[in-house]
Amino acid sequence: MVNIQQLHFGYRKKKVFTGLSLHLQPGHIYGLLGKNGTGKSTLLRNIAGLLFPDQGTIDVMGFEPGKRQPAFLQEVFMVPEEFYLPNIPLQQLVTSLSPFYPRFNQQQFDRYISEFEIPVDNKLESMSYGQKKKVMISFGLACNTSVLLMDEPTNGLDIMSKSQFRKVMAGAIDENKCVIISTHQVKDLENLIDRITIIDEGAILFDQTIEAISSKLSFRISFDHEEVKRALYSESSLRGSAIIANNTDGEESKIDLELLYKAIVTNRQSIQSAFHS
């Protein structure tokens, strides 16, 4: 659904991507992880047609995003991390924007707004950052575009809203939609994303499904010195060492995304070797 080949992109002097390739399929929620400044938002903007590749190609459902053809734009929605909303009532915003999205569903939007407990009568400027964010999320989901891009969607959401966000997302994904969420808050989304994509140093460092990860790697707490030494990655904690080891007995453990991320960023070879054996 989204095909990126050898993408090169830079802002003036700063190179961001140097030959990034990525293939995204419908029916999944992709978690896009990476250090600050590695280009997560830049990648989303390239996919949305807000930025243009220097070299390489991006294909989204047969369209070239940079051309910004209406038939492409009605299939893509992006919830940016920071955004401006005009000071108008909620429904006026919907009336002005929804005609651009043929599959927009007002009932669905109203349901999200009530699930997120957003006061409908308020003007947008009187809303808090978190409330505005929830408006954008609700609108983006209700547009029912094939591609939905979300940049740090849980930033600014309170605890209840994060839980509602997960519920709403779990109910919104279907086999025709491709959702890409960039995030640092892996704990917020741990059980929601089913494919992890990590970018670093201008390219894709790691890209695997949750299923593949738990069949290849084992996440556990160990008190055994030898086992900790042999582990692909370990981190001492109060309750013994949290380790990532090769999954040798076929037993699938719960993935600790934060630990996996640290392991890949600090010692990628050892983790990647587990997937190539």
Partner 1 sequence: MQFRESQAIYLQIADYVCEKILLKEWKPEERIPSVRELAVQLEVNPNTVMRTFEFLQQQDIIYNQRGIGYFVSASAPQQAVLYRKAEFTEKDLPQVFRNMYLLGMSPEELKPWFEKYKQQHFA
Binding site for partner 1 (CB under 8 A): 27-29, 163, 166-167, 170-171, 173-174, 191-194, 210-211, 214, 219-221, 252-255
Residue 31 vs 39, nearer CB to partner 1:
31
Q: How many CB atoms lie within 10 A of CB 96?
A: 11
Q: How many CB atoms lie within 10 A of CB 29?
A: 21
Smallest separation, CB 93 to partner 1 (Å):
26
Burial readout 30-60 (b: 16 or more C-beta within 10 A, e: otherwise): bbbbbeeebbbbbbbbbbbbbbebeebebeb
Residue 125 vs 211, nearer CB to partner 1:
211
Residue located via tokens 């593949």: 212
Smallest separation, CB 177 to partner 1 (Å):
11
Find out whether 75 and 69 touch, Cβ atoms under 8 Å.
no
Smallest separation, CB 173 to partner 1 (Å):
6
Output phi, psi for 119, to 5 deg. Answer: -65, 115
Smallest separation, CB 122 to partner 1 (Å):
27
Instruction: Report d(CA 55, CA 65) in Å as an integer.
Output: 14
- With H, G, I as helix, E, B as strand and everything else as coil, classify residue 235: strand
Residue 120 vs 221, nearer CB to partner 1:
221
Smallest separation, CB 156 to partner 1 (Å):
19
Residue 45 vs 134, nearer CB to partner 1:
134
Pair of tokens at residue 129? 């950052």
Residue 64 vs 190, nearer CB to partner 1:
190
Smallest separation, CB 175 to partner 1 (Å):
9
- With H, G, I as helix, E, B as strand and everything else as coil, classify residue 174: coil
Residue 29 vs 271, nearer CB to partner 1:
29
